[in-house]
Structures are given as C-alpha cells and as structure tokens.
Amino acid sequence: MSEDIRPFRIEIPQADLDDLRDRLARTRLPGQVPGTGAERGVPEDRVRELTGHWASGYDWREHEARLNEHPQFVTTIDGQRIHFLHVRSPEPDATPLILTHGWPGSVAEFLDVIGPLTDPAARGGDPADAFHLVIPSLPGYGFSSPLAGGGWTLGRIAGAWAELMDRLGYDRYGAQGGDWGSGVSRELGRLAPDRLIGVHVNFLLTFGSPEGLDEADRERLAGTERFTSEMGGYMAIQSTRPQTLAYGLADSPAGQLAWIAEKFSEWTEDAIDRDALLTNVSLYWLTNTAGSSAQLYYEFAHAWEESEPSTVPTGVAVFPFEAALPVRALAERTDKIVRWTEFDRGGHFAALEQPGLLVSDIRDFFRELTRG
C-alpha cells in the first residue's frame, strides 16, 4: 500500500464505556408537555427506553468485534485523517466500489451489505456480480477525526476519495451513497468522469420548476420543498451554529441519542433494530464527533453552488419512506439517468432497512454498465 496507509482496529478504552454508563445513569430528562407527541420532537418515553437499554442491555464490545471482522485502515489525505474499511472480494476481477454514508449515519450502516456485495457466490449468486469495497468515514465522522480544519465541502471530500482509490490501486471503479454520500458520489463522478464506471444513489434531492410535471411529480416536488423548509430545523442549526450545538451533544449521551434517533424515526418505514441504532449512536459518542460531523452542513450552506451536469451513468434507487422523494424529470436535467427503480418499502437508511433490495439494485445497475 502507498502513502502510509496503516492498519487500524477499533479498541475503545474500557474507561470510556464506564464513563458512558455513568452518564446514562445520571440522565436528566426534560419532561414533556401533556398530550403532545412526536410532532414536537422525539418523545420522552422513547428516549427513556433507549437510554435504559444503552446503559444496561447493549453490549458495545459485541458490535465493536463485528466491525473489526472487516479490514480497516487509516491514512492522511489533504491533511485530514481518513478511516476506511477495505474489504476485497475473493473474486480477483471484482468491480471496485466506494460506499459513502451520510448524517446521522456511519460505516456501520453497511455491515449487512458487505458480505452479499463482496461474495455473492457464497450466497448462491453470480460471482461476476462481486465488488471490492472501500467504505470510508466522512471527514469529521467516526474515526476520520479530529477534523483537521474547515473547508471540507462535498467536492473536497470527493477529491479525497479519488486520491484514496488511487492509493489503493483502483483506476476504474463505481461509487454509491445515500444522504451526504449521494452528493459525494455525484461530485466524484463530476471530478473524475473517466474513472467512474457509474454512480448509484439511494437519495437525491431534485429542484426546479413544476411546469410540465404531472400531479404525482408536483406532489414530490412540494414534499422536497417542505423537507428543506418546515422539516429542516436540525439542518438550520447544523448549518449555522454547529459549534454551539456540539456542547450539549458532546456532554450528554442522552442528548446525542435523541438528536440521532429522531431522524431514524422520521425517515424510516419501520423502527431500525435497536442495537443497530445504538451502534451508530455509539460511534458518534465514543469518537466525540457530534460537532465535527455537523460541520459538513455549515460547509455546504456557505459554499453552495447550483449543481452542474454530470455525464457519468447514474442509477437512482427510490425508497418510499425517504425524507424527500426525487422527481425523475428534474433529475434528468442534471444527471445521466440510466436506471431508476421505485421500491414499495424502505426509507432513508436503505442499507439497514432493506439491504437485500439495495444490494440487488446495485448489482443490476453495475451489471448493465460492465456487461451490457
């Protein structure tokens, strides 16, 4: 390996886990206005139940071991420490693919898709559908911390991903992502179109004039506008005052839990497995990245430019309980859409909610591009 890529293993000190349990035991809940529910934020009984399980029923070491089953590494790119999983397929000619998470997600989102994507033959599938996977933590997220400085926009992250794939020896590869990961993947395609086989996303915000759209697409467009305005309270805070927010989340595990759990409740069809949710929250808490992860919203808001067209073949997987649903006619104005799949179940965290559907769509998309 080149450029000082170093093996990495997650080993959280026991003192940090003891401190977490002590803080959870001393949680002070704020109370709730009688007769109100989730419309004002995550309900107190939900937080009480989750903090209780986090303190006494959840075993971090079990989930840490599961993460450590996969080869992990760290390197420094553009002054920033980057942590990533690199899981090579047993098939030597597998297609390289970089998977990118978003907020409030992490590399733990992809645990259920790693095996099916890297070794389909072991599950009765076609070995030609195999992928070599690179799964990095976004700068300021998880073990890609501490954040070395400001300016980590989607474009700069995409540049770091291009450098990472180059260091790993991958000249031609695909990109996939949801949430921020979709934006990074798309920017990677714009930055290095000659190296990208294709870009597959399971989240895409589309904007534009409603003129010429049918009623269903107009409704979707209105939903996106509601999402970015009425439902974007968390977005407004993180894009304007991420540092101020961080003090509360960095000091209170219950606060960090509620901040993340609310989105898992709002953007999913069914409740995510409780331990899967807590593994994700634990990664934020144990790496103290509530504040540094929120900085990406600030960077996006202060460096936003109108999206430029992408020439890379793009596939979109649409899950019905997504935070906002895309409009294909609008997407085709800026992206080379070659595959568009509408599913009847699943939401924002597709790799956690519907790993089988996501894996199948990724395979089909890249199969069409690599084998015709």
170, 297, 335, 361: the catalytic one is: 297
Alpha-carbon distance 225 to 222, whole Å?
5
Helix (H) or strand (E) holding 45: helix 44-56
Distances (CA, A) of 248 to 27, 141, 209, 232, 259: 13, 17, 40, 19, 10
Q: 196-201 and 313-318: which strand pairing?
A: parallel
Active site residue 348: yes
Q: How far apart are CA 200 and CA 140, in angstroms?
A: 24
Is 298 marked active-site?
Answer: no
Q: Residue 158 in contact with residue 195, Cβ under 8 Å? A: no
The number of residues in the chain equals 372
Identify the active-site residue in 112, 335, 348, 361: 348
List strand residue ranges (DSSP E) for 124-182, in order.
131-136, 173-177
Strand 80-87 and strand 131-136: the pairing is antiparallel
In a 13 Å sphere around the CA of 171, the CA atoms on its Cβ side amount to: 0
Of 119, 179, 217, 361, which one is the catalytic site residue? Answer: 179
For residue 45, indicate whether it is catalytic: no
CA–CA separation, 191 and 193 (whole Å): 6
CA-CA distance, 67 to 85, in Å (whole number)? 9
Compute CA distances 231 → 178, 220, 262, 324, whole Å. 19, 15, 12, 10
Q: Which residues are catalytic?
A: 179, 297, 348
